[in-house]
Amino acid sequence: MEKKAFSFGGNVLRVDLTSGLTWMEPTKGYIPKFLGGRGIDNSILYNEVKPWVTPFEPANRLIFGTGILVGTLAPTAARHSLDAKSPMTGGIGSANSCGHFSAELKFAGYDHIVFQGRSRRPVYLWIDDKRVKLLDASHIWGKTTGETDDLIKEDLGDDEIQVACIGPAGENLVRCSCVITNRARAAGRCGLGAVMGSKNLKAVAVRGSGSIAVAYPDRFMEIANKAWEKIRVSKAATTRRKWGTYRTPDLYNERGHLSARYFQDDYVNPEIIRNVDPEIFKRDYEVRRLGYSVCPISCSHFYKVTDGPFAGLACEGIEINDLLNFVARFEIDSPPAVIKLHSLCNEYGLDQDNSSGAIGWAFECYQRGILTEADLDGLSLKWSDYRVVAELLRKMAYREGIGDLLAEGAKRASEIIGKDSEKFAIHVKGQDSIESMRGSGRGWALGCVVSTRGGTHTRGANLIEGMGVPSDVCQRIWGIPRLDGPLSYENKANLVVYYEKLQAVLDSLGVCMFCSNWAGSDLLGPDDFAELYSAATGNEITGEELMTVGERIHNVEKAFNVLHAGFNRQDDYPPQRFIEEPIKSGPMKGEKLSRERWDDMLDEYYKLHGWDRATGWQSRKCLEDLDLKSVADDLEKAGLLAR
């Protein structure tokens, strides 16, 4: 008798959009080597997409992946991964989001959906347990994400259907487009909405009536209850439960974490920060807190504007990204305007991080005379004018006028117009940056820069620096004798390697980073997740072994980047502005990154991974130690394996 795969839906759904054919294969062929979620997604991507395939070709894959613990009562297990070759970087395109979609997909019996090919007309995929159909989406094409959600539920006669969809931005192949679930939860960064649009795929709608069985129910519930309690009493989780991610903007400002006027400075006028204090959002606009299935933190919030020009506006948000992208970057100090811009990004299906990056670049180019009103469809790009930002978001989503240029992202846009504008395009590996690095923790900066998906803080950067973690905790969790202040370069590479592995594990289990020791040293660590995994699947594993799988996943992504995008050591440096130009004002005035100290930190980072210091490439030994001999063979054949 075949052994049951506990904690899994059991199937990988394959969809060929060119032929319209769908079929299933068992998930068990991919586990436990790559766990699930992001791990299995990128294993499939690595094996099936060749280096010469471009992101918008039918041969690119678009893969939805649920995590192993999704559908169980493990805390925060409500996340899904979305992976493809990235239109932003040409390497790994990887996003992660929460909501009810992931659990619904598993309840229908599927752990992953792999899309290939391109439909001749707009379609959406309808999954009703084992009944799978591609349905005409011509009447939905051109609609916003909210309209799409409503129309699909109306078509199918069920308000409980879970929908993942793109808006106009994805349809128009805007490189900073994203995929939205539950009308507000974005699988952002990397331009995966554009990959979905390139396949003429408007949405995935799913309804599942099944359930997920765990191997040892009593043991699992005992472990899960301990995890829930650990999160309940955590100081870090309690703070996030009250405020979400949007909190202490004044502290962020004092520490040089806010990029003013598109990174021209890392300190914002304090009056602007006072006008968008979290207390104002909570007092005047918050309706209630929100959380998704099995989330003990519920860090999201629902807002409604009751008066003024945006009266009647209601949406889910606001996140710390809004502080970075709209308040600091453009000096917008009106809470209703910030809510409006956040809502527009959701409706258009725009990733606000990349979108605001391209617009910020345009603002600075206008300030410096590189772009004029004639270039900008008559628009005058004045800092603090939210109306102009809103109009540019619309133009980007529909590739109208100057929006067609900005839809390419800051790096490509600067290469198109030239005029020395390239040095003002702040990006990492081709993806627009939102993270300030000059006054931030050096481990934070390193994690943002070396991220396999291109500049982002959720693949290795940490929130721990500056928290005063005791030395015994440092030794126990990260294996370092102490954690010096944020501006120290010592031991920071260790933090990055640790969190790269842990975050790969979290994305593969389908749990949120905010329940892990990424968000606070009193939260869940590898041993906690290993216990949950073992009881759920029946496959015993230790925390150390789980982290080894995380390292394997990370190395597959690294190899994909080397083979597809040619990334090497030179791509692991921060934007030059952060090395050459110090912070101009505020308590962190004069701070900038040191190229020499960065080199030392990067050397240590490569050493910890077992990679070559000169090139940043992987060695055969490090790959074979991770049971990735075929990957080493591929790199050697391409002449990209370290000797």
User: Cα separation of 283 and 285, whole Å?
Assistant: 6
Q: How far is CA 140 from CA 220, 295, 463, 601, 612, in A?
A: 43, 32, 41, 50, 50
First vs last C-alpha separation in the chain:
47
| Cβ partners under 8 Å of residue 506, min gap 6 | 512, 513, 516, 518, 529
Please give the backbone phi and psi of residue 99, each rounded to the nearest 5 degrees, phi first.
Answer: 130, -160
Closest CA to 635 of 525, 556, 526: 556
Q: Check if the beta carbon of residue 80 is closer than 8 Å to that of residue 70.
A: yes
Averaged pLDDT for residues 373-391: 98
Q: Check if the beta carbon of residue 164 is closer than 8 Å to that of residue 204.
A: yes
| Cβ partners under 8 Å of residue 51, min gap 6 | 563, 564, 638
> According to the model, what pLDDT value does residue 529 have?
98
pLDDT mean across residues, the chain? 96
Instruction: Summarize the chain as % helix, strand, coil (round to 5).
Output: 40, 15, 45
Please give the backbone phi and psi of residue 231, each rounded to the nearest 5 degrees, phi first.
Answer: -70, -40
Is the model's pLDDT at 32 over the cut of 90? no
pTM: 0.97
Please write down the long-range contacts of 524-529, taking CB distance under 8 Å and 24 or more positions apart.
524/75, 524/227, 524/230, 524/231, 525/477, 526/502, 528/223, 528/226, 528/227, 528/230, 529/505
Q: Check if the beta carbon of residue 51 is closer than 8 Å to that of residue 563.
A: yes
Is the model's pLDDT at 2 over the cut of 70? no
Q: Check if the beta carbon of residue 399 is closer than 8 Å to that of residue 174.
A: yes
> According to the model, what pLDDT value does residue 175 have?
98
User: Cα separation of 162 and 292, whole Å?
Assistant: 13
User: Would you state the structure tokens that stand for residue 215, as one six-digit string?
Assistant: 């191997």
Q: Check if the beta carbon of residue 626 is closer than 8 Å to that of residue 555.
A: yes
pLDDT bracket for residue 468 (50, 70, 90) = confident
Residue labelled with tokens 């191997």: 215
Q: How far is CA 446 from CA 459, 460, 607, in A?
A: 10, 8, 14
Q: What percent of the chain has pLDDT over 70?
A: 99
| Cβ partners under 8 Å of residue 227, min gap 6 | 74, 75, 515, 524, 528, 532
Mapped onto helix, strand or coil, the DSSP state of residue 153 is helix
User: Cα separation of 385 and 261, whole Å?
Assistant: 12
User: Cα separation of 453 and 433, whole Å?
Assistant: 12
DSSP conformational letter for 477: H
Closest CA to 337 of 351, 327, 347: 327
Q: Check if the beta carbon of residue 570 is closer than 8 Å to that of residue 250.
A: no
Q: In sequence order, which ranges of 487-525 are alpha helices (DSSP H)?
A: 492-509
Q: Which helix (H) or strand (E) holds 276?
A: none
User: Cα separation of 417 and 375, whole Å?
Assistant: 10
77-97 pLDDT, tens digit per residue, is: 999 999 999 999 999 999 999
Report CA torsion sign: 11, 14, 137, 70: positive
Averaged pLDDT for residues 406-423: 97
Q: Residue 479: count other Cβ atoms within 10 Å of its Cβ.
A: 11
> According to the model, what pLDDT value does residue 406 have?
98
Is the model's pLDDT at 466 over the cut of 80? no
520-550 pLDDT, tens digit per residue, is: 889 999 999 999 999 999 999 999 999 999 9
Domains plus CATH for the chain?
11-207 (3.60.9.10), 249-432 (1.10.569.10), 442-510+542-637 (1.10.599.10)
User: Cα separation of 478 and 232, whole Å?
Assistant: 24
Q: Check if the beta carbon of residue 118 is closer than 8 Å to that of residue 202.
A: no
Q: Check if the beta carbon of residue 345 is closer than 8 Å to that of residue 393.
A: yes
164-222 pLDDT, tens digit per residue, is: 999 999 999 999 999 999 999 999 999 999 999 999 999 999 999 999 999 999 999 99
Which residues on adjacent β-strands are paired with residue 114? 14, 63
Q: How far is CA 6 from CA 34, 74, 224, 543, in A?
A: 16, 14, 16, 19
User: Cα separation of 296 and 585, whole Å?
Assistant: 40
Q: What is the DSSP string of 506-548?
A: HHHHT--GGGBTTT-TTSB-HHHHHHHHHHHHS----HHHHHH
Averaged pLDDT for residues 1-28: 89
559-607 pLDDT, tens digit per residue, is: 999 999 999 999 999 999 999 999 999 999 999 999 999 999 999 999 9
